[in-house]
Structure 1
Amino acid sequence: MKKATLPHSVTNLWVNLFALLLGFIAMLFCYKAELASVHLLFIGLLTYSTPIFIYEFLNLKKESLPKPKQAFEWQDLLSKLLGFYVTLAIVLFGYWLFPEYLKPLYFPYWDFITLLALFIMLTAPLYFIYMHLNNPDKDAYWLIGKIVCLDKAQALRKFKQPHFVLTQHFLGWLVKAFFLPIMYVFLFKNLDFLYQTQTTQWQTVPTLFIATITWLYSIDLFVGVIGYLCTFKLFNTHIRSVDTTLFGWVVCVLCYTPFNDAILTHYLDWMKAQTSWIGWIHYKTLTMIWCATALFLLLIYVLSTVVFGVRFSNLTHRGIITNGPYRFTKHPAYVSKNIFWWLTTVPFAYISTQPYMSIKAIFFLSGVSFIYYLRAKTEEAHLSQDPVYVEYALWMNEHGIFAWLGKKLPFLQYRSY
């Protein structure tokens, strides 16, 4: 049997960190210029994505083989553009249809979408023309365009599995349509909190700790927003496949608004046990150590998102990441975030006014951690369709920092699907 090796990662963490720095500087200038938050975020996202796109584009050019030139078919191009706009119309109809997206929480998202729509109107035709010149293959957009033009018979003949192509296409857009507003509105709320909180208020350990947590989560959300926006074949950041299992979707969306509000808040509400834990530590040194440990775990969680660059999105395969925190363990984001929650919840629940809260905290947080375990397993099952991931996971069985634990608890080890 061939010995597993660590595959090459599709992203570069250093390029992503440099891009993040540029994005932060751009947003700082916008803040000084007193631009509206929606414009500040838009410019920050654009600045962040540009160097990563350049890196991805150059890498793709280096790896790609030259393709034979084909005749330019205007009809095919127009079909693709039509398919794209029809897809956008379906997404907007879904937002209008479901009452969730009419709540005040999503008002900042609608401002952002309005600005984004103007940008898309200007750039989409240019993008599709360039892509059609370099890659005139028929895709899901072309198929939708033909179906809308009542040319279904010809369209279906071009694909061996047209229904699979359409399913993957609309599932990919469902992922983006569901997660993008969540990421954006909470990023907007975090930045609003940081704007209103002056740095002079960050002089105590609790306030500085909360501000740092907010900054770290904001970075995570910032990268998440750009990930759901930038699924471009031009830069090799497109979606290769989407998880088609109902179970995979359920355990994932359970962790996000509005489903976590409806389910986790009522049945696994471990947050009630998460008291103002810093106040319970009466020793300054111990407080500093505890806060530093918690922030270190959260930093690992954020780096696990940053390493994706512009490829982050749930329930999708967009290339295998093997560097950054993923060099040391599978699912570093889930591991670090869950340890962070346990560290800041359970030890202090007993000291609360209701001692039984520690038992409830352990029970509820165990349920949440189990959901994340199921998420990890469904992701592994999906990504195992790619032999590169199989090679990575098998390598991690032997060389990951938790390899020793996997040998003692075999259910934690990767098994080929």
Structure 2
Amino acid sequence: MNARPSPPPSDVSAGVGLAGLVGLVLWVLACRHWPAIADALALSGPHEVMNGPLAALMALLFSGAGMVGWSLLVDKVHLRPTTGIDWSSPRPVRDVVDISMTKIAGLWATWAILGFAYCVARWYWRGQYVFAMEVLEAVAPLLFLGAVPYVLWLDRVLVNPRDASWHFGAMLIGREPWDAAEVRRHWLAWLVKGFFCAFMISILPGGFAAVVTADWAAVLHDPVALGTLLIEAMFLVDVQIAMVGYLVTMKPLDAQIRTANPHLAAWVAALICYPPFVLMGDGGVLDYHYNGAEWSYWLQGHEVLLWLWAGALVFLTGIYAWATVAFGLRFSNLTYRGVLTNGPYAFTRHPAYLAKNTYWWLASLPFLVTSGSAVDAIRNTVLLALVSAVYYWRARTEEKHLLAEDAKYREYHAWMAQHGLLTSALRRITTALAPRRPVAQPAE
């Protein structure tokens, strides 16, 4: 029996995400046991569990430091040609200062426009988004000032310092020719960061506080409570690692956004899955929970089934978190930042979407409703099927983008169709079910 061939090499090693996961776990444990740590070290200040929003933000530093350290010290990503950097011959500052000032003008204008959009969009000043706005308001001065030395330093070693940000700055200043395609590329990338950074920051504190303050010993014998807490922990890992990915889109880390998805369908498919455009939320067009109940309601009283169901849901959430951890520093929606072929991506091209949607079907059991109405059951089932169809649509639009960008992804896509344990099996099924076209006979 022939061995299964290996997929194309991944642009991200498994060690990056694992280093971030270790840093995150260490910080969570430190926050949980801070009273004992503070007592042992005779530290001043409150000796309480650290479960606040600032502690959740500090977790980004611990997980991010591990991933950045591994990337630079072990993988040496800063030496890759894909960074667009030549460290061997830095230019004098005087040779790049005009280019850098143009680029800084473009970046400052971009951030000012995004800030104005945050101010105008009312949903950013309600609920969990208020925390995100407070964080962005606090870091904005550091971002604006820090851009000056960073851009001057980086432009000295960039092979082509006139990048997309420079083209937007040149358009604003009007002294040099600029490329409209590069300006569009600049704005697509920053629209991704502007939209998703605000959302990700807004959901950081909740999951962090729940995991840090949980009484784990009290839930060990309760399948519902334990399963719920473990699922919360998996989502904490996902959110923390993903947030670091959005923050460090830097060329020295080879984690830059090379291109954002240029297809309108991709943006529509992605945005309807997130607030304020989300269609799957309570009362939304695709809300599949009407007169429904969660798995624990329908399986109550069946202890074995509850344990099995909880285990399956935790497993699926673990796959979902693993898919994010595998990205390391490069997680981001709607972008191309290299090709990932290891971890769960060695089994299927879209493990996160597959795990998430399977989780929703098992958790909600949409064909069961508390009203006893067949109409409600059919409606909920159809709507969840449409939600899954949206994620299939997202997957196809992402593949369209990546297939056009990178020969390595085209190689991975073809390899997965032949050898991916899940993808190849689904391909064989769909091929078998597809109607066979008659073979044309040559004319006599």
Q: Do they superpose with TM above 0.5?
A: yes
Does 2:285 align with 1:267? Answer: yes
Does 2:177 align with 1:155? Answer: yes
1:183 partner amino acid:
M
For residue 191 of structure 1, report the CA deviation from its aligned partner.
2.6
Q: Which stretch has the larger CA shift, 372-381 or 59-68?
A: 59-68
State the match for 2:381 in structure 1: 362
State the match for 1:74 in structure 2: 97
For residue 110 of structure 1, report the CA deviation from its aligned partner.
1.9
2:430 partner amino acid:
L
State the match for 2:207 in structure 1: 190
- Counterpart of 1:408 (choices 429, 436, 443) is 429
Cα distance in structure 1, aligned partners of 2:194 and 2:410 = 29
For residue 23 of structure 1, report the CA deviation from its aligned partner.
2.5
Report the CA distance shift for 1:393/1:262 in structure 2 as closer, same or farther (over 3 A).
closer
Q: Which stretch has the larger CA shift, 283-292 or 36-45?
A: 36-45
Greater CA radius of gyration, 1 or 2? 2
State the match for 2:268 in structure 1: 250
Alignment of 1:142-291 (within 5 A): 142-151=166-175, 154-156=176-178, 162-194=179-211, 197-199=214-216, 202-203=219-220, 204-261=222-279, 265-272=283-290, 274-281=292-299, 282-291=301-310
Superposed CA deviations along residues 108-159 of structure 1, whole A, max 9, x for unmatched, are 11222134335435643332122112116211222233333331xx232xxx
State the match for 1:377 in structure 2: 396
State the match for 1:29 in structure 2: 30
Report the CA distance shift for 1:36/1:365 in structure 2 as closer, same or farther (over 3 A).
closer
2:276 partner amino acid:
P
- Counterpart of 2:413 (choices 375, 389, 393) is 393
Secondary structure in structure 2 of the residue aligned to 1:309: helix
Does 2:54 align with 1:39? Answer: yes
Q: Which stretch has the larger CA shift, 368-377 or 283-292?
A: 283-292
**TM-score (normalizing by structure 2):** 0.83
Report the CA distance shift for 1:66/1:218 in structure 2 as closer, same or farther (over 3 A).
closer
Do 1:268 and 1:364's aligned partners in 2 also have CA atoms closer than 8 Å? yes
1:220 partner amino acid:
D
Report the CA distance shift for 1:56/1:233 in structure 2 as closer, same or farther (over 3 A).
same
Secondary structure in structure 2 of the residue aligned to 1:237: coil
Report the CA distance shift for 1:173/1:406 in structure 2 as closer, same or farther (over 3 A).
same
Cα distance in structure 1, aligned partners of 2:181 and 2:245 = 24
1:179 partner amino acid:
F
Cα distance in structure 1, aligned partners of 2:387 and 2:432 = 18
Superposed CA deviations along residues 229-248 of structure 1, whole A, max 9, x for unmatched, are 11111111001111111111
2:56 partner amino acid:
L
1:191 partner amino acid:
F
State the match for 1:100 in structure 2: 123
Q: Which stretch has the larger CA shift, 353-362 or 63-72?
A: 63-72
Report the CA distance shift for 1:62/1:171 in structure 2 as closer, same or farther (over 3 A).
closer
Report the CA distance shift for 1:91/1:36 in structure 2 as closer, same or farther (over 3 A).
farther
For residue 270 of structure 1, report the CA deviation from its aligned partner.
1.2
2:226 partner amino acid:
L
Cα distance in structure 2, aligned partners of 1:323 and 1:252 = 24
- Counterpart of 2:311 (choices 262, 283, 292) is 292
Q: Which stretch has the larger CA shift, 203-212 or 232-241?
A: 203-212
Do 2:367 and 2:381's aligned partners in 1 also have CA atoms closer than 8 Å? no
- Counterpart of 1:51 (choices 54, 59, 66) is 66
Superposed CA deviations along residues 74-101 of structure 1, whole A, max 9, x for unmatched, are 2222222222211111110110121121
- Counterpart of 2:370 (choices 324, 341, 352) is 352
Superposed CA deviations along residues 361-410 of structure 1, whole A, max 9, x for unmatched, are 32111101111111111011000011111100100011111212212214
2:181 partner amino acid:
F
1:224 partner amino acid:
A
Cα distance in structure 2, aligned partners of 1:194 and 1:102 = 26
Which runs of structure 1 show a deviation greater than 6 angstroms over 4 or more consecutive aligned residues? none
State the match for 1:159 in structure 2: none
For residue 195 of structure 1, report the CA deviation from its aligned partner.
5.4
Cα distance in structure 2, aligned partners of 1:118 and 1:45 = 20
Alignment of 1:6-17 (within 5 A): 6-17=7-18
1:120 partner amino acid:
L
Cα distance in structure 2, aligned partners of 1:261 and 1:188 = 24
Do 2:89 and 2:157's aligned partners in 1 also have CA atoms closer than 8 Å? no
- Seq. identity, %: 29
Cα distance in structure 2, aligned partners of 1:110 and 1:82 = 23
Cα distance in structure 1, aligned partners of 2:282 and 2:183 = 33
Superposed CA deviations along residues 284-343 of structure 1, whole A, max 9, x for unmatched, are 122111110111011101111111112111111001100110011110001111111112
Q: Which stretch has the larger CA shift, 372-381 or 29-38?
A: 29-38
Secondary structure in structure 1 of the residue aligned to 2:411: helix
For residue 272 of structure 1, report the CA deviation from its aligned partner.
3.1
Do 1:56 and 1:236's aligned partners in 2 also have CA atoms closer than 8 Å? no
Cα distance in structure 2, aligned partners of 1:272 and 1:262 = 11
* Structure 2 stretches lacking a partner, 5+ long: 35-46, 435-444
Report the CA distance shift for 1:338/1:411 in structure 2 as closer, same or farther (over 3 A).
farther
Cα distance in structure 1, aligned partners of 2:197 and 2:325 = 16
Alignment of 1:81-120 (within 5 A): 81-120=104-143
For residue 184 of structure 1, report the CA deviation from its aligned partner.
1.8
RMSD: 2.7
Cα distance in structure 1, aligned partners of 2:334 and 2:234 = 23
The structure with the largest helix share of the pair is 1
State the match for 1:301 in structure 2: 320
Q: Which stretch has the larger CA shift, 355-364 or 178-187?
A: 355-364
Secondary structure in structure 1 of the residue aligned to 2:331: coil
Superposed CA deviations along residues 209-243 of structure 1, whole A, max 9, x for unmatched, are 22222221121111222222111111110011111
For residue 42 of structure 1, report the CA deviation from its aligned partner.
2.8
